[in-house]
Amino acid sequence: MDSLLLDSFVKLLGEVSTPAQVRALEAGGPVDPVWSALSESGFLDALLVESQGGAGLDLSDVAPLLLALGAHAVALPVAETMAARALLGAAAVEHPGGPVVLADFRAGPGGLVPTAACSTHALADMGDCLALFAIADLDTRRPGIHGSLALAFGDVGSAPRLAEIPRPAAGLRAIAAVIRAASIAGAAGRVLDMTVAYAGERLQFGKPIGKQQAVQQQLAVMAERSVAARMAALIGCSDGLDPRPAIAAVAKQVTSAAAIEIANIAHAVHGAIGISEEYDLQLFTRRLHEWRMADGSESWWAARLGEWRLQSSDASSVDYIRGIECA
């Protein structure tokens, strides 16, 4: 994609999603100033076709933007809203303007939905269609996790459906998982940068701890896992807004599994300061844990992918994987 576009997006996030602003949103601060700035930027319409006022970009085009969202611990569903606007737009439904989360109501209430507490709408997979709800109309619950903006949804019941649109072949969970995978990968890269920088500054035994081989080896592992997570996210973003489920499975399995190892190494290297509220690391590692569980954890996706693999006619793993990556 155009690096100017990415640069201006990163600049915008640097202004509207500073650590102080993330903390303010988590504390229940106003959404509107941040959301207005994002709306006015036009980036929320990146995936909307040009005839509807969008930029007409493909998901793979905006992959760097999705990574940047994770790298800034953005507390609002920016990528989800981009996807929702494109899906609604494709069905000629006007989008609601506010922050939209993606949810899966097929088997009753699913898991926690990050950022839903500061969102206005949910676009939900109902099994036979996608339905748009106002979150205020839904039965919701905040489980009381410190700092989390996630909501649990109760039974939909007779909550009014503001719109019904065709369901993508893979449903909504696949695209939600791909978006989440990109957030994880972006946050992983940021946490790696923070941890490497800290290891270069923190002096113990008369030298930076980053000069200790034991610490270097841990940071190398962290870099490897961050590289793998980023590639898995790119694979996820390579198949558009209706990704084949196997693509989503690769993306979310690998990123979710990497998320925890990356968070753990980051905290191990930072020591006690990383546990403190005032230090920014926790903004990212708390999210890595939340995002890892959202939209299906590593084992949920692994079980699906394993079933598809065992049912496929491909004798060799290379052929099966080529089928995922090349189609």
Angle at CA of residue 111, ends 106 and 112, nearest 5°: 130
With residue 66 as reference, give the H or E element that holds it. Answer: helix 59-71
Question: What DSSP designation does 327 have?
Answer: -
- Residue selected from 200, 268, 273, 277 as contacting other proteins according to rule CB under 8 A: 200
Choose one: 42-50, 80-88, 140-148, 219-227; the region binding other proteins (CB under 8 A): 219-227
Q: Using the minimum distance from each CB to other proteins, give the nearer residue, 152 or 223.
A: 223
Q: Using the minimum distance from each CB to other proteins, give the nearer residue, 35 or 198.
A: 198
Residues 57-96, mask of contacts with other proteins (x by CB under 8 A): ---x------------------------------------
Contact between 55 and other proteins per CB under 8 A: no
Rounded to whole angstroms, the Cα distance separating 167 from 175 reads 12
Q: Using the minimum distance from each CB to other proteins, give the nearer residue, 90 or 227.
A: 227
Pair of tokens at residue 92:
């000629």
Exposed/middle/buried for 264, CB within 10 Å: 0-12, 13-18, 19+? middle
Choose one: 29-37, 96-104, 133-141, 250-258; the region binding other proteins (CB under 8 A): 250-258
- Residue selected from 10, 228, 260, 293 as contacting other proteins according to rule CB under 8 A: 228
Residue 317 beta carbon to other proteins: minimum distance, rounded to whole angstroms: 6
> Residue 178, Cβ neighbours under 10 Å: how many?
33
Q: Using the minimum distance from each CB to other proteins, give the nearer residue, 118 or 233.
A: 233
- Residue selected from 216, 244, 260, 293 as contacting other proteins according to rule CB under 8 A: 216
Q: CA of 24: how far to CAs of 80, 149, 284, 286, 324, in Å?
A: 21, 12, 15, 16, 41
Contact between 224 and other proteins per CB under 8 A: yes
Spell out where the chain has E strands: 100-104, 121-125, 130-134, 140-141, 152-153, 163-165, 203-204, 207-208
- Residue selected from 129, 223, 260, 293 as contacting other proteins according to rule CB under 8 A: 223
Place of tokens 């006022």: 53
Q: Using the minimum distance from each CB to other proteins, give the nearer residue, 249 or 263.
A: 249
285 Cβ neighbours under 8 A, 6+ residues apart: 191, 263, 266, 267, 274
Residue 248 beta carbon to other proteins: minimum distance, rounded to whole angstroms: 10
Q: CA of 57: how far to CAs of 14, 149, 233, in Å?
A: 22, 29, 17
> With contact defined as beta carbons under 8 Å apart, do 130 and 166 qualify?
yes
Strand order in the sheet with 163-165: 100-104, 121-125, 130-134, 163-165
3-state class (DSSP) for residue 87: helix
Contact between 2 and other proteins per CB under 8 A: no
Contact between 326 and other proteins per CB under 8 A: yes
Contact between 232 and other proteins per CB under 8 A: yes
Residue 209 beta carbon to other proteins: minimum distance, rounded to whole angstroms: 10
Q: Using CB under 8 A, which residues numbered 266 to 305 contact other proteins?
A: 298-299, 301-305
Residue 174 beta carbon to other proteins: minimum distance, rounded to whole angstroms: 14
- The sign of the torsion formed by the CA atoms of 310, 315, 316, 320 equals negative
Q: Using the minimum distance from each CB to other proteins, give the nearer residue, 114 or 296.
A: 296
Q: How many residues bind other proteins (CB under 8 A)?
A: 54
Q: Which residues would be at the binding site for other proteins (CB under 8 A)?
A: 60, 189, 192, 196, 199-200, 210-211, 213, 215-217, 219-221, 223-224, 226-228, 230-232, 234-235, 238, 249-250, 253-254, 257, 298-299, 301-311, 315-321, 324-326
